[in-house]
């Protein structure tokens, strides 16, 4: 972008924010309703934390996609001041007429009331304002084993609330991330199952290689699979059980997962693990 274009873009963002039209970007999260696991959305009305004097609800716009990236629809929920939303994904899917979809992604934009938007002009650096909607997903099984995971990446290419020219400028390109390896180590002892869920948050088809590396000793590749992802699509990769069992015998006490490259800037994978015959647990990679 030229210097003139940057100045124009900055001026448009500042003017839009002062008029309550700051850009809002939804966060996306993995959901699963299979293999004995369920998903529940946890979202707070964070607007009332910043402007507690405004006694108005916020509107959560919730949209879902299946594993192929096909849109399943959208619904809205009102969240009162200081309130929270707890929504079972299976209830969301039923309301959208998508019963039985085993996995996919959910994206949420929390729209503030007009009275809240009028406060945007008082914020410092209005040309830099960008509002995301982070939230938690609870993953749990029928034995009430719970895992809470925070959303970490946005639904790329989507923006609400901003003037059209600002939206076009900020969403016209979605970068690809760098090659990535997790700093979280997975203990190989008694590990019986390992799955990696990689998600393409971008609005275009993309490819990456899912890998499992040994931790230490040059970090050799123990498993890899290259996959192509449709826009908004995902793959859940299951490492063969016999390979998982072989790692410890080969002297690899710890492993880590990786993507080469990340499909978007912070599109890190999810990991499902099982030790012995215990419950299946789900975490960020």
pLDDT tens for each residue of 23-46? 999 999 999 999 999 999 999 999
Q: Are residues 39 and 151 in the same domain?
A: yes
Tens-digit pLDDT profile for residues 101-148: 999 999 999 999 999 999 988 888 888 888 999 999 999 999 999 999
**261 prior amide bond cis, ω within 30:** yes
Sole residue written with tokens 């002009």:
121
Helices then strands, counting H and E runs in the chain, come out as 6, 19
Beta strand 136-141 pairing with 146-150: antiparallel
Final residue before a domain boundary, out of 125, 143, 171: 171
22 shares its domain with 141: yes
CB atoms within 10 A of CB 4: 8
| 163 and 186 within one domain | no
User: Could you tell me if 146 and 188 lie in one domain?
Assistant: no
Q: What is the CATH number of the domain that holds 105?
A: 2.60.290.11
pLDDT confidence of residue 63: 98
Specify the number of domains making up the chain: 2
Q: What is the pLDDT of residue 6?
A: 67
71 and 136 share one domain: yes
Q: pLDDT under 70 in the chain at which residues?
A: 1-9
> Tokens 């309703």 belong to which residue?
33
Between CA 127 and CA 16 the distance in angstroms is: 8
- Last residue within a domain, chosen from 142, 171, 200: 171
CA 208, CA 140: separation in Å to the nearest integer?
29
Report which of 171, 169, 172, 175 is spatially closest to residue 8, judged by C-alpha positions.
169
* Neighbouring residues of 103: CB distance < 8 A, sequence distance ≥ 6: 30, 31, 32, 33, 34, 66, 67, 197, 234, 236
Q: What is the pLDDT of residue 19?
A: 83
Residue 113, C-beta contacts closer than 8 angstroms, at least 6 positions apart: 47, 54, 56, 57, 58
133 in the same domain as 100: yes
- Other C-beta atoms within 10 Å of 71: how many? 12
Only one residue has tokens 């992604």, namely: 105
End-of-domain residue from the set 120, 147, 171? 171
Which domain covers residue 105, as residue numbers? 3-171
Four-residue CA torsion sign, 217, 222, 226, 229: negative
Cα–Cα distances (Å) from 234 to 98, 207, 225, in that order, read 17, 11, 14
Distance between CA atoms of 161 and 109, rounded to whole angstroms?
Answer: 10
- Residues 115, 214, single domain; the answer is no
Alpha-carbon gap, residue 64 to 103, rounded angstroms = 10
Burial of residue 14 (number of CB atoms within 10 Å: 0-12, 13-18, 19+): middle
Within this chain, do residues 40 and 156 fall inside the same structural domain, yes or no? yes
* Residue 16 three-state SS: helix
């Amino acid at each position: 972008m030229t210097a003139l274009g940057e100045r124009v873009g900055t001026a448009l963002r500042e003017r839009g924010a002062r008029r309550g039209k700051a850009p809002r970007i939804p966060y996306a999260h993995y959901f699963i309703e299979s293999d004995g696991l369920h998903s529940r959305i946890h979202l707070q009305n964070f607007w009332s934390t910043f402007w507690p004097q405004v006694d108005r609800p916020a509107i959560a716009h919730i949209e879902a996609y299946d594993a192929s990236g096909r849109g399943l629809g959208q619904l809205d929920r009102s969240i009162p001041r200081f309130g929270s939303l707890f929504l079972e994904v299976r209830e969301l899917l039923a309301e959208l007429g998508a019963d039985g979809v085993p996995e996919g992604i959910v994206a949420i934009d929390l729209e503030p009331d007009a009275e809240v938007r009028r406060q945007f002009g008082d914020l410092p650096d209005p040309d830099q304002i960008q509002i995301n909607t982070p939230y938690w997903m609870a993953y749990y099984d029928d034995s009430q084993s719970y895992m809470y995971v925070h959303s970490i990446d946005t639904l790329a290419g989507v923006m609400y609330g901003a003037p059209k020219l600002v939206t076009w400028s900020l969403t016209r390109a979605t970068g690809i991330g760098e090659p990535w390896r997790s700093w979280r180590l997975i203990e190989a002892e008694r590990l019986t199952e390992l799955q990696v869920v990689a998600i393409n948050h971008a609005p275009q088809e993309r490819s990456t290689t899912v890998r499992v590396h040994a931790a230490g000793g040059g970090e050799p590749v123990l498993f890899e699979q290259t996959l192509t992802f449709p826009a908004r699509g995902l793959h859940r990769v299951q490492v063969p059980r016999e390979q998982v069992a072989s790692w410890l015998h080969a002297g690899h006490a710890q492993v880590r997962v990786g993507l080469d490259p990340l499909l978007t800037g912070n599109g890190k994978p999810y990991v499902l693990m099982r030790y012995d015959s215990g419950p299946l647990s789900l975490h960020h990679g």
